[in-house]
Amino acid sequence: AQKVTQAQTEISVVEKEDVTLDCVYETRDTTYYLFWYKQPPSGELVFLIRRNSFDEQNEISGRYSWNFQKSTSSFNFTITASQVVDSAVYFCALSEGGSSNTGKLIFGQGTTLQVKP
């Protein structure tokens, strides 16, 4: 069965601190996709990144970086020099790949990040 675990329910940091959000996944599929979404207080989910199972290259986008390690089934997300605007709920999600995939997303429980000024 597919499963995504975000063990950190809430994280509180002070502005300019670095913070890492953990995500561990389980799947039997050899082809799959991993995602991170941000949900600010307004409620809309904002797509941040997609990673394919066959691409373990880490990614950096501005203050955001992602570390994908198949050996530990983890896809962690780091925000460098956090800002108040980063305060939101962050969801990690998994979907199966392959030609017959339904596209369903399996979401983690989410991590609420609070960045204090």
Q: Are strands 19-21 and 74-79 parallel, antiparallel or unpaired?
A: antiparallel
Among 43, 57, 71, 100, binds other proteins (CB under 8 A): 43
With binding defined as CB under 8 A, does residue 104 bind other proteins? yes
Of positions 28, 42, 61, 71, contacts other proteins by CB under 8 A = 42
**Rule CB under 8 A: is residue 97 a binding residue for other proteins?**
yes
87-102 burial string, b = 16+ CB within 10 Å, else e? bbbbbbbbbbbeeeee
Which listed residue (25, 37, 66, 75) binds other proteins by CB under 8 A?
37
State the minimum distance, in angstroms, from the CB of residue 45 to other proteins. 4
Least distance in angstroms from the C-beta of 81 to other proteins: 27
**Residue 3 found at the interface with other proteins (CB under 8 A):** no
87 Cβ neighbours under 8 A, 6+ residues apart = 40, 41, 113, 114, 115
* C-alpha to C-alpha distance for 117 and 114, rounded to whole angstroms: 10
Judged on CB neighbours under 10 Å (0-12, 13-18, 19+), 36 is buried
Q: Is 103 in the site for other proteins (CB under 8 A)?
A: yes
Residues of this chain that interact with other proteins (CB under 8 A) are: 33, 35, 37, 42-47, 50, 91, 95, 97, 101-105, 107-110, 112
